Every structure is written in C-alpha cells, then in structure tokens.
Amino acid sequence: MYQMKKDKLTELFQAISGMKDLFLPLRKCDQTNYGLWTPEEVFDLETLKTVKSAKDCFFPQSEVLYRCKTEDGKISIDPQKLCDRPFVVFGMRACDVKAVEVLDRVFLSEPVDTFYAARREHGTIVSLACHEPEETCFCRNFGIDAAAPGADVETWIIGDSLYWKPLTEKGEALTESLQAVLEAADGEASACEAEETVAREQEAIRGIIEKLPFSHLDLSRFQPENTMELFDSPLWEELYKPCLACGTCTFVCPTCQCYDIRDFDGGKNGVQRYRCWDSCMYSDFTMMAHGNLRTSQMQRFRQRFMHKLVYYPANNDGLYSCVGCGRCVSKCPASLNIVKVIKKLGGEA
C-alpha cells in the first residue's frame, strides 16, 4: 500500500504524463468527461460519474480504419497505424472497470479486433473507489464492489490523502516508476494504519450502497431458460412507449459496443473509411438490402434490454452486459431505463 497527499495530485499526474499519455476526468463547459491531461487542463475527481465512460480510451466514438487514394490510375490503401504508445487511464470507477471486461469478451474473442487489442495492450487502468455512491447507482446487483474497484491499480481518496494499491504486473510497473512521488507505508505499524483506514472507508461505502433504492433488484427471471417467455411478454408494448429513440442511453453506456462503418470522400485527398458508435435504438441500425429485421421501435427497445439481461449473459458465463452505472437512469429524457425494465419484467410492483 502506498499513499500521498491529495494536494500533490498534480505532481503525480505530471510524473505519469512525463512517461505516458494520461487520460482522466477533465472539467470542460460544466461537464466532466475523460480527456488527455495537460497541465493547463482542470481535472475533476469529485464528480462521481463522467457523462460518458472511459470506454472512449479503448473503443473511441470515431476512428479511421484506413485511407484510400487514386493517383495515375492506381489505388493505394494506407491502413491506420495501431496504437503503439503506452497510456494510463486514471480515476475509473468500479462499474466502468467491469465494463471493460464486457468489452473484452466482444473485441478480444475471435476474430480479435486489432484496434481494440492494441489499446488494451498499451493501456494501464488506475481505478478510484466511489466515496459517496449516488441514488442512481445499482452496480451491487451485478456483483460489483464500488469499494474495491480492481483494475491494474486501485485507489481511494480519503480525507486529504490518496491511497494506492497495485494489483497486476502493469500496476506494479507503473508504481515502480512513480517511487519519487508515492510514499510507501514503511513499517508494520504504518502499513497496518493505512490498511485500516482503507478498510473503514470500504465499510462506509458498502454501507451507503446497501441503502440505495436500486441496490436490491431481482434478476432471477433473467435466465436463458426464460428467453422466449421474456421475449414474448406483452409488457414490452407498455414499456417502450415513452422511448424517443434518441440513442442517449447507448452513447452514455459503458458496455454498448455497436458500431457502423462509413466512408468519407475527401475529394483529391482520397477516401477515409472509419467506424463510429451506432445505436440499436435507431431505425436504420443493421439495415440490409431488403430492409430492417426490426421494423418497430418496440422491437428495437426489446432488443437492447434482452441483449443486456439475457442474450449476453447466456453466451458469456452469466456476465451481464449492464454494470449498474446509472448513466441511463440519470440521462434518459423520458425517464425510461433498464431499472424500470428489470422491475417490470422481474415482477416487482
């Protein structure tokens, strides 16, 4: 266990950014989102949840795949270079750390997505425990412990100190390179004091989570054997009606992985083929030559939540494709979200 004074965070960030690119929550235009840190940026570790998750660091909202150009009757293809620069993502909450595991199951299974794999290889995640979980949080339902967020390094901000605990080889390597900034808990008494301080913080966090309104959802019906029963439920016709098909829920979700591939014609500069996030809530999603298999908003709405709660866990050893971050709860303009779906289909009043 290591620790340092909270007022030395800038010094810590300068040390990290001197060796690697550093991404952390930055405050811009009254919103907090992950971005590349420089000394001129204002970091924000007080906001519990960024508007979008740190998913952008591994699966960007938009990225070029390759460029094509025609010159003298010949076509040249220039593939986009894969990520080859090490970077650190600092401050990820437990729910967003778990979301990376969900994305790994998608992009690192065969055939491996080389763009994503390169970023995962070069990225080191430093998590941050949730000091005061909010009412929209429900990560506990999915086996996530906000008090022990995991990742390569897990940290806690308690009072005026940051506590730092490496968990993996990547985390140990990063810690070793920061010895000039971090203070090791020397001696048995000091180490015990640090461990006890963190243990008290963890107990307090878990106590808050236990009392949150969505911490005890019933997921027992969302099992593979109930797939057709859930799919054919008449409740979908009632649930979907407030949906505006805006796609907000998919763009703030840390586990959504759907994307589209498009071409941009730059004229004499050639054509860029790029991919960008897409949403299963849109009417043209997965459009084929003969049209779309899901012709109504109810069908698209049902697909989103069946995938999160039934299809994905059925194919991934019971791992849900929801991490209970609560972003869809707070951001949906129609106050429609996965919690309402779970309660309704799960049989709660």
Identity of residue 102: V
In DSSP notation, 68-109 reads EEEETTEEEEEEPPPP-S-EEEEEE-HHHHHHHHHHHHHHSS
Starting at the edge strand that comes first in sequence, how are the strands of the sheet with 271-277 ordered? 74-79, 62-71, 271-277, 259-265
Q: Check residue 348 and give its pLDDT.
A: 57
Q: Which residues contact 35 (CB under 8 A, 6 or more apart)?
A: 23, 24, 26, 28, 41
List b or e across 148-181, with b for residues whose CB sees 16 or more CB atoms inside 10 angstroms: bbbbbbbbbbbeebbbbbbbeebbeebbeebeeb
Q: Check residue 256 and give its pLDDT.
A: 96
Q: Check residue 349 and give its pLDDT.
A: 42
Nearest alpha carbon to residue 213 among 147, 143, 148, 134 = 134
Q: Walk along the chain (349 residues) in steps of 10 and give the mean pLDDT of each run.
A: 93 96 96 96 95 96 93 88 96 97 96 97 98 96 96 96 96 95 72 91 97 95 94 94 92 95 88 92 74 80 94 95 95 93 81
Quote the tokens at residue 247: 């796609």
Q: If you ran DSSP here, which 8-state letter would residue 6 be given?
A: G
Q: Check residue 291 and give its pLDDT.
A: 63
Q: Check residue 283 and give its pLDDT.
A: 80
- Give the containing element (helix H, strand E) for 124: strand 123-128
Nearest alpha carbon to residue 134 among 48, 54, 46 = 48
Query: Tokens 């109930």, residue?
Result: 226
Q: If you ran DSSP here, which 8-state letter would residue 151 be given?
A: S
As beta bridge partners, residue 75 has: 70
Q: Check residue 188 and give its pLDDT.
A: 62
